[in-house]
Amino acid sequence: MAWLCIPVHPLSLSQLQELKLSTCPTPDLWRRGCFCPPALTCKVSFYVEPVKLRMSETSEPAFGGRRALPRNASNAAEDDLPTVELQGLVPRGVNLQDYLHVTNIHLFKERWDTNKMDHHTDKYENNKLIVRRGQSFFIQIDFNRPYDPRRDLFRVEYVIEDAVYLDDDKEREEYVLNDIGVIFYGDFNDIKSRSWSYGQFEDGILDACLYVMDKAQMDLSGRANPIKVSRVGSAMVNAKDDEGVLVGSWDNIYAYGVPPSAWTGSVDILLEYQSTKNPVQYGQCWVFAGVFNTFLRCLGIPARVVTNYFSAHDNNANLQMDIFLEEDGNVNSKLTKDSVWNYHCWNEAWMTRPDLPVGFGGWQVVDSTPQENSDGMYRCGPASVQAIKHGHICFQFDAPFVFAEVNSDLVYITAKKDGTHVVETVDTSHIGKLIVTKEVGGDGIKDITDTYKFQEGQEEERLALETALMYGAKKPLNTDGLLKSRSDVVMNFGVENAVLGRDFKLTITFQNNSPNRYTLSAYLSGNIVFYTGVSKTEFKKETFEVELEPMSFKKEEVLIRAGEYMGQLLEQAYLHFFVTARVNETKDVLAKQKSTVLTIPQLIIKVRGTRMVGSDMVVTVEFTNPLKETLRNVWIRLDGPGVMKPRRKMFREIQPNSTVQWEEVCRPWVSGRRKLIASMTSDSLRHVYGELDLQIQKRPSD
C-alpha cells in the first residue's frame, strides 16, 4: 500500500462539494477504435463552511420525465450514499488490477489536527472536518499499490472562489469567529445594551443551521451562493409563512412560550427548533437578529447585528411617516397608519454581489423580522448598503423598504373637520437618527450612520433622494407646497432620568423669538407603547395654557407619578410622550414627541473558584426586588459560551425589597475572554439583565 498527501482548495460556501479522485491505467490504452474503460472514481463529498466529508462512488445520472430523481435538498440525504458496481464482460487485454485503487482517505479532522487549527474551525463542537473557503487543507489518500506518475493518471478537481472573504484579520475574528455579541436597544437619548450568546460553535448548532436550510428545501447546489443562503435564512428564521425558527409576538402575551426578553442567546432556540421540528415561541426584532447572526456566522458568512434608532415602518411606501392630528392637537389614530419604531434590529452580511454593478458588494442588509412580504414570503434582503446610501433602490432585494426605514420624513398633518389636510410641520432628520453596531474587538458602540446616508443638508443627500424618487420611490407632491411658514414660537421638552417604580418630571420649554405677545393652548399625552411605536393605552392626559411675553422663555413642569403607569407597563418599560401646542393668534401648531425607557434593576453575577479550563467554578446570580409589589413566576436564565451550557431556574415569587440567590457549578472548556449572561422575567417585570466578563486561563499542560 502507498499513500499520497495533497493540498486541496475548498470550493465555495455551504454547499455539498465534490473532489473527484480519478485513477486509470496508462493513457496509451485510450486509442481510437479501442475499448476505453471508465476511470475508477472515488468521489469525496464534503461541506465547505461547514464541511462534511464523505466517501461515495460516482452518483447516478438524473433522468427526465417519469424517471426523474428528486432534487437534492437535504444534507440528511447524503447519509445514504449510492453505490455503483462494474458489471458485464471485460474486453481482452484489460486487467482491472492494473487500475490504481483508492483504499482509504484520511481527513485530519480532529480538533488538534492541522486542518482545523489552520482553518480556525477547532472551536466547533463537531467531529466532522470543517474547512473555510479559499484556503488549502490536506487529505491523505491511500492506494492499493505504489503510485507511479509515469504510469498512473491521478486527478483532483477543484475550483477556487470566495464570495464572503474579509481581508482584515480583526474583522474576520469579530464577524465570523466571535461567539458573543452585544445588541443595542433602548432610545436614541438613552441607549442601552445587552450581551447575546451566538454560540455558533456549540454542540449541535452546526447541524441545526443545516437543518434550517433542509427545512426550506433549499437545493444543495444553491448553498454555494451567499445571496441565496442569506435570503433563505431571512425567511426561515421567522415562522410567519414557512414554519421557520421563531414565532414573533408583539402583544405582550406569552402564555404559550418564552417572553422575547428572557432569551440570553441563540443556542436554546436553534436546538429546540431542530429537536421539536416546530417553531419556537417567542421572538422580537433583536431575537430574530441574534438567531440570524448565529446562522450566518456558523456557515462562515461574516455578519453583525445593526440597530436603527427611530426606524420607519412605511406602510404606503411614500417615504413619509404621516402623523395626522385633530384640530385640537390630539393624534388621530384612525388616519395615522405609519409607525416609527423606537429602534429596530437587523443584520448585515458581507458578500460580493455579482448580480449588481461593481461597487455594490460588501455589507448587505438582511432582516428576518417579519414586517413586509417580499416575493411571496416574509423576508428582507440582501440589500446593498451602498445602494441604499446612494438611492439606487432599483437593485434587488427590498432596497426601497430599507431606504424608507432610514430616510423617511416625519410629517405632521392636521385633518380638518371639512375633510381637508394641512401640513403643519416636517421633520427631515428624525428617522434613522442613529445606526449602530458593536465595535470590532470590544463591547463599545460603533456609529455606522454614514454608511447608510449622507449628512442632512449635503448636496449628496439631496442627490440620493432624487435618485430614489427617479427609481420609483413614491413621495406625495403636496408636501412641499402646503408646508406652512416657520412659527415665531419654538417648543421643546425633555424627560428626566426615569427609574421604574418612581415619580419623575417632564419639562416643556417655550421660546418666543418675536416682539409680539402670544398665548398658547398646549396638550400633553402620555402613552404606554410597544417599542415598535404602537400605543397600548394612554395613561396621562393634560391640557394647559401658556402666556409668552415678547422675546421671552418659559418652562412648564408636569409630574408623572409611578401609580399612573406601573399597572399597565409593557415588555420594555417604554413611555411615549406627545406634546402639541397651538398659537392662538397665528393658529400655528407646534408638535414634538419623545420616548423614554425606564431604568430597570439589574441582575448581579459573581464567580468563585479558579477561572481555568477544566476547573470547577461556582456562579452566583443575585436579584433584589426594588418594587413595592411581589414578583410572581420569576424565571432566571444563565448562559456562557465555552463556560457553561444554558440553564434556568424558577422562583415562585419574590417579595418587595427581598433578595434571591441562585448558585450553579460549571467547568469552562474554552480559554480566553468569555462572558456570563443572565436574564430575568416575571409576570410584571421583564428585560432584567446582568453579565460578567471573565478571563479563562489555559490549563498548565495545554
Predicted confidence at residue 62, as pLDDT, reads 43
Q: How far apart are CA 686 and CA 517, in angstroms?
A: 48
Buried-state track 507-531, b at ≥16 Cβ within 10 A, e below 16 = ebebebeeeeebebebbbbbbbbbb
Asked if the model's pLDDT at residue 659 lies above 80, the reply is yes
Which amino acid is located at 402 in the chain?
V
Beta strands in 69-209 (DSSP E): 102-106, 137-143, 153-156, 180-187, 190-197
Sign of the alpha-carbon torsion through 379, 381, 385, 390: negative
List the catalytic residues. Answer: 285, 344, 367
The predicted-structure confidence for 569-583, as pLDDT tens digits, reads as follows 766 778 989 899 989
Lowest average pLDDT, out of 150-154, 185-189, 521-525, 633-637, goes to 150-154
Whether residue 382 has a cis bond before it, omega within 30° of 0: yes
- The amino acid at residue 397 is F
Please indicate whether residue 147 or residue 523 has the higher confidence score (pLDDT): 523
What pLDDT, in 10s, does the model give residues 323-373?
888 877 777 878 887 778 889 999 999 999 999 999 999 999 999 999 888
Please choose, from the candidates 373, 348, 339, 365, the residue with its C-alpha nearest in 3D space to the C-alpha of residue 240.
Answer: 373
Instruction: Kindly report the length of the chain.
Output: 702
Give tens-digit pLDDT for 602-613.
999 999 999 999
pLDDT confidence of residue 207: 93
| Dihedral sign for Cα atoms in the order 120, 124, 128, 134 | negative
**Per-residue DSSP letter, 174:** I
Question: What is the third-level CATH fold of 489-597?
Answer: Immunoglobulin-like (2.60.40)
CB of 586 within 8 A of CB of 487?
yes
* Spatial distance between the Cα atoms of 230 and 234, rounded to a whole number of angstroms: 6
Between 593 and 366, residue with greater pLDDT? 366
Measured N-to-C along each axis, helices 226-236 and 205-215 cross at an angle, to the nearest 10 degrees, of 90
Residue 161: which pLDDT band, with cuts at 50, 70 and 90? low
**Residue spans in the chain of domains classed CATH 2.60.40.10:** 1-8+96-162, 489-597, 604-696
- Which has the minimum average pLDDT: 81-95, 331-345, 529-543? 81-95
Task: Please report the pLDDT score of residue 476 as a whole number.
Answer: 56
Above 70 in pLDDT, residue 38? no
151 φ/ψ angles, rounded to the nearest 5 degrees: -115, -35
Q: What is the mean pLDDT of the chain?
A: 83
Q: What pLDDT does 508 receive?
A: 95
**C-beta separation of 637 from 269 below 8 A:** no
| pLDDT, position 55 | 33
**pLDDT given at position 69:** 54
Q: Which ranges in the chain are annotated with CATH 3.90.260.10?
A: 169-471
* Entry pTM: 0.80
Element (H, E) at 17: strand 16-24
Task: Classify domain 1-8+96-162 at the CATH topology level.
Answer: Immunoglobulin-like (2.60.40)
Give the per-residue pLDDT at 377. 92
Q: Where are the alpha helices (DSSP H) in 496-586?
A: 562-565
Q: Indicate the pLDDT class of residue 261, thresholds 50, 70 and 90.
A: very high
Is the pLDDT score of 486 beyond 80? Answer: no
The helix (run of H) or strand (run of E) holding residue 227 is: helix 226-236
Taking Cα atoms as reference points, which of 634, 606, 611, 623 lies closest to residue 691?
Answer: 606
Question: How far apart are the C-alpha atoms of 191 and 200, rounded to whole Å?
Answer: 27
- Amino acid identity, residue 8? V
Over the Cα atoms of the chain, what is R_g? 31
Say which residue the cell 431556574 belongs to.
649
Residue 513, C-beta contacts closer than 8 angstroms, at least 6 positions apart: 488, 489, 490, 551
Supply the pLDDT for residue 77: 57
Residue closest to 537 by CA, chosen among 564, 503, 507, 508: 564
CA neighbor of 260 nearest in space, from 633, 644, 637, 654: 637
DSSP state of 115: H
Spatial CB neighbours of 343, under 8 Å, sequence gap ≥ 6: 184, 185, 186, 187, 188, 307, 308, 309, 310, 311, 531
Q: Which residues contact 661 (CB under 8 A, 6 or more apart)?
A: 620, 621, 622
pLDDT over threshold 60, residue 37: no
End-to-end CA distance of the chain: 36
CA 104/CA 106 separation, integer angstroms: 7
pLDDT band (50, 70, 90) for residue 53 = very low
In this structure, the strands spanning 659-666 and 644-654 are unpaired
In CATH terms, the superfamily for domain 169-471 is Transglutaminase-like (3.90.260.10)
Distances (CA, A) of 352 to 47, 219, 427, 523: 20, 21, 36, 52
Q: What dotted CATH number matches 604-696?
A: 2.60.40.10
Strand 672-681 with 688-696, pairing? antiparallel
Residue whose C-alpha cell reads 421572538 in the numeric block: 283
User: Are β-strands 16-24 and 604-608 bridged in parallel, bridged antiparallel, or unpaired?
Assistant: unpaired
C-alpha cell, 554 = 418659559
DSSP bridge pairs for 349: 303, 364
pLDDT in tens, 192-217: 999 999 999 999 999 999 999 999 99
Return d(Cα 503, Cα 500) in angstroms, integer. Answer: 9
